[in-house]
Amino acid sequence: MFDYLRDPQEIYAKSFATIEAEADLARFSDDQQPVAIRIIHACGMVEMAARIAFGGDLVGSATAALRSGKPVLCDAEMVRQGIISRLLPAENKIICTLNDDTTHDIANRLGTTRSAAAVEAWADHIEDAIIAIGNAPTALFHVLEAIHEGRLSKPAAIIGMPVGFVGAAESKDALIDHAGDIPFVTLRGRFGGSAVTAATVNALARLARDDATTPDGTLDRRNGGMP
């Protein structure tokens, strides 16, 4: 009935070729480009390239953490469900504490959202972990505050991409300005969400799984970011 492309490999190849042809990728390092491409692919918008902001050695820190078996801490169930567990290099745990029995009581006690309160339950897992926030600006603010106050240990990397009209842009500006020495990646402005956050984790998982050294000892990332 409809004439459309059906071959999955050809669809991927054409999608990534379109991104490389239309998006401004020149400002990203070789390490960052596969992650940026996956973010753009998840958004379906090449103009998002201008909004992607990296801090520190995001790729190096995140892939090392994943290969060493550190968990991924998510602010929302949709983020957790979007992460492809078979890509994770060390059977890494994917943790979301939003619906834990104690979260509602903590939110009431702190006078904040459940998403922010759920961060409190990350204390035993957060050191050198990957944080993936794709829904709640309050969770990103709370993480930054708790780390700054010394109540939470430093993670290996923060993927901070909450979406929305209230606090989303501001929380990502706070990440850029106050992450300190914690590597991060974010999307400036209101855009973000669970799908693009999960896609970022999946891109890093692919790189962690596929990284190999070339004869001169450098990392070979030719397969990074591709299916």
Residue 27 has phi, psi (to 5 degrees) of: -80, -10
Distance CA 177, CA 135 (A): 20
Pairing of strands 219-220, 212-213: antiparallel
Q: Please give the Cα distance from 146 to 119 (Å, whole number).
A: 9
SS3 assignment, position 29: coil
Q: Please, how many CA atoms are within 13 Å of residue 145, restricted to the half-sphere of its CB? A: 11
Q: In angstroms, rounded to a whole number, what is the distance separating the alpha carbons of residues 186 and 170?
A: 12
C-alpha span between 227 and 215 (Å, rounded)? 24
Is 41 a residue of the active site?
yes
Residues in a beta bridge with 96: 74
Distance CA 52, CA 202 (A): 17
Choose the catalytic residue: 41, 104, 125, 142: 41
Catalytic residues: 41
